[in-house]
Structure 1
Amino acid sequence: EYTVDIEVSLMDSSFLEPIKEYFKNLMLPVSTNISNVEMTVSNINVTTVCLSNGENNSCCSCENGYAWPSAVCSDLIPCPSVSLAPDMPCGYMKEMPFYGPYCEPQAEEPIVMTMSVRLDTDFSDDLNDTSSELYKKYKADLEKAFNASYRCLPGFVSATVIGFRPGSVLVNYQVKAGTASFDQIANSNKNVPLYLNALYQLNQDTFITEITDQTNFTVSPVDIFEGLTVSLNCEINAALENVTWYHFDRIISVRFPYSVERRVSRSTSKSTLRIFNITTKDSGSYSCIFTKSNQSHTLIYKATKTIAVSPIHFTTNVNDVYVTCNSPEMQTNGLLLSCCIDRHLPSLTGDWKVNGAIYITGVSSFSENCTEYKLNINESLCPPEKSGTVTTYTCELQTGHGARYSQNISVTYLRRAHVTITSSINSSVSEGYEFNLTCESDVSNYDSISWKIQSGNNTKTVDCVACIKNSKFPATSVLRVETATQDWSGTYICTFSQKYLESSANVTVDIIPLPLKQDILIDPIVAPIQCKVQQALECCISANTMEDYTVRFVVHQNEFHVGKKRKGNLFCYMYNYTERECSKEELMAYCKFINRIGQKVNSRSIRLHPIPGREVSCSDSFGIGIEGAVLIKPCRELNNPDNFTQGKKIYKCSNKSWKLERNDCLSVPISNLLTSAKVTFMSFLEAKANLPNYLAELKEKTEKEQSTIDNSPANLGAIVTILHTVSSIPANAEEPTIKNFLSTVDFIVADSTTAVWEDLNKEEEQKSSLLLRSVENFSLHLQPVNNTIPSVSVNTLQLQGIVVTENITTDYNKSFQSTENLTVNVLIGEMEIQTLTPNSTIVSVMYSKLGRILPQNKTGYVNGLLVTTTVSSNRSEQFDVNMTFAKKNLSLKKPHCVFWNFTLNHSGGWDTYGCTPTEIEDHVICSCNHLTSFSILMSPDISSQTIIEDYITYIGLAISILSLVACIIVESLVWKYVTNNTTSYMRHVCILNIAISLLTADIWFIVTASINDQNQQMSRGICFVATFFIHLFYLCVFFWMLSLGLMLFYRLVFIFHNTSKTAQKAVAFWLGYGCPFVIAVITIAVTLPRNNYTRKDVCWLNWKDSKALLAFIIPALIIVAMNLFITAVVIIKILRPTIGDRSNRQERNSLVQIGKSVAILTPLLGLTWGFGLATVIKKSHRAFHILFALLNALQGLFILVFGTLWDKKIQEALLKRNSTSKWSSQQTKVRSL
């Protein structure tokens, strides 16, 4: 099949249309024979028409459906526009004769170019209505102009208006044509105004052309998964250099994970966007936009594609795995690790990496989409010290498109520990004895250690924090049993746990029965014994034993065989002892029990006091004794005299009969509770599990025995002892358990027990302090349940708390209110709480009655609630807490924030260390830097007399300080005038040092006093230093006075003996500063270890506890006495001078002045501290207090007046210095004239 181009030339252009019509009407196909070749003409079309323009050129145009070949498009020159009507096809100039090429059939689909241009006219809403006349007119006129203008584009088909937009008037239209260059489109744009009425005001610089279907947009690879490197390629058949990439509406910046490349040739432009390590977030629409612009036209090529990134599911056969590396099975079979992806990807490869302190490698293999790694586990590569080490195995899969997938598998290598256990005993030990078990492991990185005791089918856990000591290096656990009982008998299993792996060792300990010392009852406990008369001695133990003991009574180191008898539930061993010698003051007797393995225990001693028979006053079944003798017997049950209960009775022989002095017997229920507590909790075997039931029983029996407790210090003390015993057992924070404990405390602090508490607090160990410690311990050891601490309230106690979480962002703020409407608030800041370890607890307990039973200060009263706050976390010593207390008695003043210091004075007391009070109306805010039990102490209102004394003290000290400064200045001014002999020199050295010492002491005194008066808390360190310097420099005052007196005594008595000035100065300075320093340091050394160097309320030497004040009073009084003696001697000596005295008149005047000074200064100083002693005496008259304040405060004034200004030599020196100064000034004036 052939296409033949035939050129037909017509002499007259009028024949053109008839010929077209003719060809159109031919009945085709037509067959004919041409040169003996049969041909069939199937189609005849007119393609190209050239019309002469009168010169040697013709204007040629293509018929409908035909277009100029693209190869010649760039060389075509359009015919002048005037040569053709607007509705005629576009023609191009051709030289004649024309030999082609001719127009060709337009086979390709025309390109749709979306274009826009702006009309600088106002927009009308009618242009949005396609049926309006204005819309139709604009559309018709613009389409006519567009068709006429763009008809010369290659392959032009049509130009159609598709709408209008505001913005002046933006015309949107489409042009369908063949491929056209930028210049061709730009030239066509220039023709538009030629065919459009000027009233439209078309802006020739606003043409925009957008072509959307002529970009070759490809994506590689086709299937996109996470981790791949994806290439997006855009290519157009036009030379456009500017390209921009978009992800949705966001311009893509050229930075990781993106890169952009572009290549431009004469006829094409290409750009590639690469996305590295693509993720699902990179899914979506991507657009590439090529642009080219000049002043009047912008050409845009735009293409858009949507890509979807599928996730890759990476799986491993294990995630975190534990391996026992010395397990025979593991060493034989090894461990297989594998990782896979969920699809097959081309060119997939795999690799494994190992990272860890234990470097165990393996063999890798690969199949389809999985890689495997078989570990070669060897015990030698897993030493004991590295057990628990984590080795990370990283499997990596890589595709041909650069995607890399990796996954870590953590393998924790554990080594089964070699555990050994040793005992401090062979295999058996007696009850009451101590033994240790030491468990050792070669693996130190253990998680926990547990001890269990197996006895038959029963296994018990040793729940004892205090008796188990664990260490890491070396890995040991020591179980120390201080007092063995039958509960400790059995096979001990020590287990080291590391993750899931447990390694154990065991040893069997047999506990041989032997009575405990405290379980042996003795009768009597203390008794008089008549000489040569038998005295029955008895020891009893529980009859619940099958052991047959060897028992001996030992009296005064002599052993005696005993008789055995059963009494109720007791075995009693008896011996009738007769003392032959009555000269002994006291005999000690005890019974000794020996068990089958030869171990022994001695009972408590029976104290026997021999008395002559003729002096017996009391004699009955109880015993015998002289008048005033004491007999102490054990307690027996009222309903069963053969049975004993805990406690004792004290009898005194009075008027020939034994009278009960004190009954310290426990009631049977309380005695049983105490015994049960010792058995259950002293052994610490499953103590935590037994605690809830025991506390319920304790609360119930305490309530029933309330009347007994109200009248018996012994029963009350026993309950306190029980509470202290159980307080160290970690209890689950369940409301019934907490309530039972607090209720028991509530019962024993009721108002009815006040008198009993007064008796108990007289004992060496204050039971009230022990009770407070017990509640603190209980709250400290509470174990949260479901991560909470419940709020629990009983009559006089309330408990609240929290569990500290990992990211806590709130303050600890708890408020309490008592039944008396007193309140207290506890506040701990968020920053302070964040220093605590997670899962630790903060618990506060409020007491409304317990503060009343604690010993009070004589000058202060508990004037608010008592609150305890505990934190179960290792923390720094400083821990800031703020508490706001409501005052109970508003008339009390001078609040002190105090805490109960359990170690103060060995028995406990109120202490102010680390707390600062702030008084706001009816409340006191206490800011403290530590935790324990806090309250406020306040004093009665200060009397007006006390205020007068304070004013006298401050005014007097101010005058004294100014006077001392003046004294020092005067001495320095006249020094060279008044020190012209040894006696005068030493006198003024003493006076100057007295002034300096007293000035220093007064400054320290007034600073510390002002701080105390302002209710500000001074740190113990500063108070300690202040007390030391006040003590030191006040002593210096007295010792310099002593130096002055001794120097005077020496000069007048030893008149023929001369000593150098240097020697006198050395002695004076040693006395003035050396002796006071030694006394001050010794005072600290003696009192500081007992923490009673200073008073609690002010910074001065302690009097009540250590009598440290005597270190000042005694030296001062001795010096005053010596100075008074010296003064008397000196006065006598001056009044009666001896023959041969060789003191000249100047020396005599100096000595007279010294005598006057000592005679006046010493009584003043002595009287001051004499009145100070009077103030210490109870109920001393107020006049002594006022005189003491006045004379003590004005010491500096007395020194200035009587020691300095009263001295005639100083007066003369001042006058001489003044006159000399005036003379010098006058001479200066004369010279100037």
Structure 2
Amino acid sequence: MVCPAAPRLLLAVTLLLGSVVAPASQPVQGQAGGGPGQQLDRQSGAGESILVSVYVQLEFSDKTWPLDLALPPASAASSPRNLTGLSITTDCNVNHTGHSHCACRPGYQWSARLCSSSISCPSHRHNHRPCDCRIFSHPVPSYCQLLPPVPGNLSLNSQLQMPGDVLNLTLLTTQNATNPKWFLRRTESSKCIALRSGAQVSLSSHQGQASLSVSHPSHRWAGEYIIYFEAQGFIWKLQQEVKVPLQKAEVARFPDELSIACAASPGFQLSCCFPSTNLVYTAAWSPREGSQVSLIHRTGSQCLLLDVQHCPEANTTYTCVLESQGLDPLRRSVAVTIIRDGDIACPEDFSAVAWNVTKAGHVAQVPCPVNKAGTVKRLCGPDGAWGPVQHNCTDVGILALYDEARLLQAGQGKPDRRVPQILERLQERAEVTSSPSDLLKLLSTVEVLADVVAEVRTALTPSALKDLLTITDKVLDTNVSSLWTLAQAQEPSMGSDFLLAVETLARSLCPKDQPFSFSSSNVLLQSELLEPPLAGDYQISFSTQPPLWVRIPRYALTPLVHNGTSVSVTGLVLQNLDHLLPSNSRQGLGDLQYGTPGLVLVISIMADGKAFTQAEVIMDFGQTHGALHCVFWDHSLFQHVGGWSDSGCQAQAADDGLATQCICQHLTAFSTLMSRHTVPENPVLELLTQVGLGASILALLVCLTVYRLVWRAVVRNKVAFFRHAALLNMAICLLAADTWYLVGSVFLPGTQDLLCLATAFLCHFFYLGTFFWMLAQALLLAHQLLFVFHQLSKHLILSLMVILGYLCPLGFAGVTLGLYLPRGQYLREGQCWLDGKGSAVYTFVGPVLAIVGVNGLVLAMTVLKLLRPSLSEGPSVEKRQALLGVLKALLILTPIFGITWGLGLATMLEEASAIPHYIFVILNSSQGVFILWFGCLIDKKVQEALRKRFCHTRHPSSNISLRTGSLQLGKVVVTSPKIQSELFHGVGEQGQTHTIPPRRARAGIRLMGPGPGALHPSLLTLGKAGFFH
């Protein structure tokens, strides 16, 4: 360095008092300070003597001083005091402030005590040479001392480390050695890298010995290993060269395989690249006849290129051979296939990149663009059609940072310095993330750094934490989210792993740098240091959508504060991450039924450098649509892929009623699961349900009373019996179901006792019974429409209806109870009904939707039968009558067949609107009212029976005219109420009037008329009308 003041030299002058004695042995090669040629000159002699070293200071007018000092001629005659040696020990330069910067000459060293008490020179602080240059403020600086012999040696199990070996270096000392420090100077760098215990490195020190072990070393572990240790008051240095051969996987060839059409491409090029090491390798291609070989040197690697001028006549395998003395050759082969006439091949394709002609069943490869590592591959299918393009290109900058992070994790480098450096550079590379491979490597780098920070418990600086949060914000950006789908197909757990890494790094901020806050579009963080004594609860809020408030009670934090310990609390909100996590939920939550509102909250508490996982935290999530469940991300679920779980968390309404409050007893990543298929609890809907059920129960009681009064009058034939029997049993089932449901919702809210269990089972059974009796009615109508002349057995049909209406629902309800009750998935939380989170509710929804679908088909068939004759042949008056008949059929059959329950699909699909829920509640909770009106009171037979019973009037005659197109088939005159009640329909000859006695009426099964030619499909109209009138 250039110094304004005169330089100084400290000299050691050795005087021999008395006779000269033989000196002690000097340090061997490899010691700190140099070899023997750099020591003081000493002479041997006989007799007794005393060796004395005198240190003097010399000043020079400039910086040119003699490197070697010669003894004066008179020194030999100055017996008995002989000057036997003269050597420079210390170089010092004095700066303008009067401070001396002093460094030792080879063979001399500062004492360990002085090194620990003095200041290192700024220019020498990061060269890993212990106690090299020191700064002194007093006018007369200290001087370096002569080193004694090295008190130990460094042994290596094998200088040449083979693949799979464990590298072992051991320090053996004759003196007590302390404070060993290991370093590695790699082949491609002049910098020394500090070594520590890590994924591959193991360090130990015991009773004067120190050892280093490296498992599975690669070429990145080749170089010079250095150890510094303290002994005899000095800091010593020993070094050892280690060589590691290349492994086969470290030799890259391009392409892996090649198929070529010689007519289109007469020549081709192959490459073989390998990293530079401290071993000398010779590379060669075989065969190489008619080819040119060239060696290209790149930073840290070499590539041997083979330019084949002409296609070989047959399929040929080219082999790249790497040889080094004393090692087995490394071989990497490339198979070249010749495409001949008649072979199936994929044609050239220049749509995105240049794909040459490739033989069927082979993979074509092209190199990645500039600054990208890897290859782009495309399979040629067996039929000669190109397959999809597979991009395996990774940004070289991101890849280099990932390799650095992996080496840091393995044990190379100091985490407190390297982690911030890698994060700073990674934040810059996040801007160029453009492929799934880039995203995977970037996230993997963050995960590796998080593992390192967690292992060594290092603290992040504010700038490093800001870089991490900036990376996270860019990763969660919607422009990058399209890459997540492709990346997750390769690595399903990447979202969960990244969340865990961000959790780990976010809580690692150095306490002295708090409070700290960060805000961006996707990431919000607040960190605060709480000093004892705690004044109250810890509270923070985040301006998110929905709004979020967090509170940790004082009583939850007090046990963590002891002996004056400060507590660091960090709140981190990640938006859009929930959509990038795997769609996994623990059994019972149902991943298809719930979604998150778009944010994940991470709460961390640190005290004494330790992360706490158990503490009560209260979170208020602003009002959102849907029923909310408080959950956290459990990284251990689904074979460590992760999933949502609600263990240890509960949800309740907040004090103001405008938010959902989550109370959890542990700390991790929280969120809420929102039901996609329900609207939030609405008192209006609850009131409508209860009112509708009450009205339905009253209407069904009236319906049963009416049937009790008119049963004999209305049931006069088998068809009427079947219809009214099904309707009666349907009313009984629906009455029981509505009653039990109302009891469960009004009198047993939120209970989970045996009565609630019985209520859920009976509701399940009776509601299913209602629908199966609806199905029985629909099947009977379908039979009458399709098989007009077919007679039905009363006892057989009634038995089948009972089996269908009662045994089938009982089977569904019993199996559901047996399957889901032992698992704890039978009852819905807070209700006496089937659990909607799992699959229990589907044992009700599935049969209901199936029955509604079948009944809908029967209704459609009925409408078509009603429309077919009139719309095709009749005049406008008949068309209007037919349309009125269709409308009447729809009004009657829709509630009777339970078609309105099909609106349940709309409530599941309509996530944003509550209208389908209101319509569903109004129509289906009041179904008993519709059954009373359309199934009972609107029936003319019932009306006449009631009129006869209460009014005692004679029923007038009624005429029924039947027409087919413009042809009037006949007129039936009914003169007796008894005959009219049993009449289904009758037909006379054209223009004639007949009286049909009861014995000849067949309820739409046997038609009386002029003969087969007079039958017409329009006659079925009265048959259908007679079924539901």
Structure 2-normalised TM-score?
A: 0.46
Compare the two structures and name the one with the higher strand fraction.
1
Structure 1-normalised TM-score?
A: 0.40
| Structure with greater Cα Rg | 1
